[in-house]
Amino acid sequence: MSDRTAMPARAGEIQLARDLAALAADAGIVFIGHVETPWKVRRECPRNGRQSREICRVVLKPDYLEGLKSVETCSHLILLYWMHEARRDLVVQAPSFASRTHGCFALRSPVRPNPVSLSVVERLDMTGDGFLARGLDCLDGTPLVDIKPYFATTDSIPGAEVGWDKA
């Protein structure tokens, strides 16, 4: 069964009445490449990239390779990718790790109206068609949306809180 197949909602979950993937798009996204990982099905994926030591391959389409200029100087990068097999129909979810439900925008779950995910990765070696990275949590073949440098001075907020996670 595909991860996008509508499944019965858990207690407290709210499911949308329509498939958002079938709606007319408000904007267009061009995939700049894909990610090669060892995970073939969702249940194999780590819950978040920080839990993984696996080395993954980030492959760019030839038209975008010049955009990697100076990436070799970055120790860490932010990768945005499209969780192409994720459901898009739950706006309130009951995560298995939480004692209560939460809105999809209060979770890092790939199940959301637009299944865009992000990981901060450690960039390892550059390759002819991209680079190797550690810190991903997505399926093999996941479409790549964007790459951004991680600036510790800008992107890290040590005192940031997710209040429900402390409950």
Is the confidence at residue 165, as pLDDT, over 60?
yes
Predicted confidence at residue 8, as pLDDT, reads 61
Q: Minimal CA–CA distance to 55: which of 150, 116, 125?
A: 125
Instruction: Pick 88 or 1 by higher pLDDT.
Output: 88
Structure tokens at 148: 């951004």
Q: Is the pTM of this model over 0.75?
A: yes
Is the confidence at residue 5, as pLDDT, over 60?
no
Predicted confidence at residue 1, as pLDDT, reads 39
Predicted confidence at residue 6, as pLDDT, reads 58
CB 72 within 8 A of CB 83: no
Is the confidence at residue 121, as pLDDT, over 70?
yes
What is the DSSP annotation of 41-55?
A: SGGGS-SSGGG---E
CB 133 within 8 A of CB 79: yes
pLDDT in tens, 11-56: 888 888 887 777 888 888 999 999 999 999 988 988 888 888 999 9
Neighbours of 149 (CB within 10 A): 15
Instruction: Pick 10 or 34 by higher pLDDT.
Output: 34
SS3 of 15, please? strand
pLDDT in tens, 58-112: 999 999 999 999 999 999 999 999 999 998 888 999 888 888 898 999 998 898 9
